[in-house]
Structure 1
């Protein structure tokens, strides 16, 4: 079985573009330590290292390593790091996309470090203490600091195991830039597809389910991801009465809940009541008990929430069943809990870094649903998806930007990725203008703020090729 898998991964490497027995240079060196003594749990392994590291001895940088057994017990397939540490791959290890790529390949039985540059921390005890890995205890303990990704293979001869091994080889090939033609790139993509293919998510249905359970929900995400549209669709699908408002820096308690304002229609100075959108929605919910009421608050984090919500903050507790504390909403309107048919859907732009951070008390009272950029479905043709209306979704541009963000952006920076709304246009000229006058200035501003620095050259190459503009003046 070991010899069969060794031949299998060598064949995959060639299929994915690796040069082997080349007169000029090979793409990898083969490490092979599968003798009888090694197989008695003294560190049996085989795999690939960088060609200059040779076939034996300590080595540097990333490797593909498999820990086999000569019986029916579990194997481990891993992305490894040489015990000599990093020489050329430290920058590569720091890219978030490397971790995201390999994290997709593991199941709940696998392990993936949170930081691939960390060669000081050992594998977690929850993983190394697994019963089905006891026979590999010595092997694991010897390399425990140098295995950022591990996946358990219960039966190396099975089709599912071979798919996992193929995906690891494909991911390693991608790291090493082995593919150099379309057939090789296609082969890599096919091997990775079962693991990295994104699931189609019905966002509106998920939001409705969450809203039904939690009642108060914030839809957060980058601009252009359709947060407001999703909120409106969710309210429409449950046939709710909708009240809508948009917060801004000057929104106050008297605007949102209740206050008094001067009556400018009179010659003498008089004041009149102002029932804010919140009071209006509550009144409607109380008088129409058989009708769902949804209050949509657009851009909820643009206002000073402590000032805007005031004492009603207490009421946003989705599990309040009984309370002897009454909160006055407006004169003649006091309640001790929000009506059961009253819901709040709010939106928050995660890319707007100038806004105040929402405090923990408010976060506890709301459920938070992240809407990420996602390709739009429709009729696909030459990098463009034809939508049901006259618009088109330019998915080739969306994919290019997404790939750069996925590879270089930190978890925090992912919230800055332009959403799918930026890539909808009727013509190629309109899309080019959107890139030139919307996406290009946005990315340039991010870079000027010190964000996505490692992706600067990738973005610059994209914009030069697409609209002949450089990020550097």
Structure 2
């Protein structure tokens, strides 16, 4: 696959533009033969066609079509050919040749449109950097960058932690850092549930509009196809990953998502593939982030075979200086001190209880949803009565005395 630099046309000679055009036609995992065929095609020879050169010289005083670097100019050349086609109505042979020539020119216009898109993305894509992010997660920069590094190496990670530690929010920030900018079109997010299936995720048989059945690609299949047309990182985020039947949903992906299996060499025929040569692989620029809730006892344990394919990152409640500064702007520094003291005491007790543990601690996200708070006492009472206490009662369902003690600490 050609690097994107070849499609940056500014400062290039007409010969270099021609080479980039040939690469464009033979790109997307093309073989050497396919690239050679593209080089020898009539599409690549438009720079030597006299009719085209005459039009280019007439409109823009240029000698070659490859001296034109914007799609609008090439569209004008195509328009001139359309006029010539209409004038040659009495000469079918000439008209056919001119139509073919226009088709070749339109292909070059498509190439320039692609190059313009890349240049526009490079110019307008907002950069992302954890250090300068005003809405950054509360975890330390060192830990954040470590997780990004793990994702880059392993290609698949799972953020696991108690409810309310900001796993989903953190996942998108990690994606931005890996991509190098805020580019949501390179990110897909979904949530697993008990009814989610391989047919939804990869490929399956679905009813068609005419009443019959057809093979329809799933969301991850389409995402991989989209990523294959680019060199940029693409990040697939799966919220509540352990709520689904992972072995059933992933199917052949058990092998294909491994970091060293991300190439066409390992492409395999999927369960519902209709053609023998219809094979699928996960591109090397696709990264998977799973978010896993460790509090729900009803969720299945992650399959050991799948566990080996992921790096697991523990995400813990963060009540550090960054969090305190954030919340102080809403409820005042003194009130923040009171809250943190109580929450830390409760979390220490939860962590020390054998039947509970770190995975059931109270997360910081409970305190991040509120806008400007007018009355701290009312806000805190509502938060406790309708969010924190029900959660504590749930995790302490078999130890009511402990649940009552934890609630009293928070009051």
TM-score by length of 1: 0.49
Following superposition, the deviation at residue 399 of structure 1 comes to: 3.3
Following superposition, the deviation at residue 419 of structure 1 comes to: 0.7
Q: Which runs of 5+ in 2 are unaligned?
A: 1-137
* CA deviation profile, 1:380-411 (whole Å, cap 9, x unmatched): 58xx8335x89999453243122232243349
Following superposition, the deviation at residue 462 of structure 1 comes to: 1.5
Q: In 2, distance between residues paired with 1:460 and 1:271?
A: 55
Question: How has the CA–CA distance of structure 1 residues 378 and 306 changed in structure 2, closer, same or farther, with 3 Å as cutoff?
Answer: closer
Q: In 2, distance between residues paired with 1:299 and 1:457?
A: 29
Aligned residue number for residue 342 of structure 1: 286
1:118-157 correspondence to structure 2 within 5 Å? none
Q: Which runs of 5+ in 1 are unaligned?
A: 1-197, 467-473
* CA deviation profile, 1:183-238 (whole Å, cap 9, x unmatched): xxxxxxxxxxxxxxx99455432221110111100010011111011111111222
* 3-state SS of 2:298 partner: coil
Q: Does 1:461 align with 2:408?
A: yes
* CA deviation profile, 1:240-287 (whole Å, cap 9, x unmatched): 611111111100001011112224xx5x52334432111011101211
| Bigger RCO of structures 1 and 2 (CA < 8 A, at least 6 apart) | 2
Q: Does 1:405 align with 2:347?
A: yes
The answer to whether the 8 Å contact 1:404/1:458 transfers is no
Q: Does 1:307 align with 2:256?
A: no
Following superposition, the deviation at residue 322 of structure 1 comes to: 7.1
Q: Does 1:357 align with 2:301?
A: yes
Q: Does 1:297 align with 2:238?
A: yes
Worse-matched range after superposition: 402-411 or 212-221: 402-411
1:85-234 correspondence to structure 2 within 5 Å? 200-234=140-174
Question: How has the CA–CA distance of structure 1 residues 414 and 339 changed in structure 2, closer, same or farther, with 3 Å as cutoff?
Answer: same
Aligned CA-pair RMSD: 3.2
Question: How has the CA–CA distance of structure 1 residues 457 and 315 changed in structure 2, closer, same or farther, with 3 Å as cutoff?
Answer: same
Q: In 2, distance between residues paired with 1:320 and 1:212?
A: 15
1:390-469 correspondence to structure 2 within 5 Å? 394=336, 396-407=338-349, 408-410=352-354, 413-424=357-368, 425=370, 426-427=372-373, 428=376, 429-450=378-399, 455-456=402-403, 458-463=405-410, 466=411
TM-score by length of 2: 0.56
The answer to whether the 8 Å contact 2:256/2:262 transfers is no
The answer to whether the 8 Å contact 1:378/1:386 transfers is no
Following superposition, the deviation at residue 316 of structure 1 comes to: 2.4
Q: In 1, distance between residues paired with 2:286 and 2:139?
A: 32
Aligned residue number for residue 226 of structure 2: 284
Aligned residue number for residue 201 of structure 2: 256
The answer to whether the 8 Å contact 2:392/2:407 transfers is no
Q: 1:368 aligns with which of 305, 312, 334?
A: 312
Following superposition, the deviation at residue 412 of structure 1 comes to: 5.5
Q: In 1, distance between residues paired with 2:227 and 2:332?
A: 38
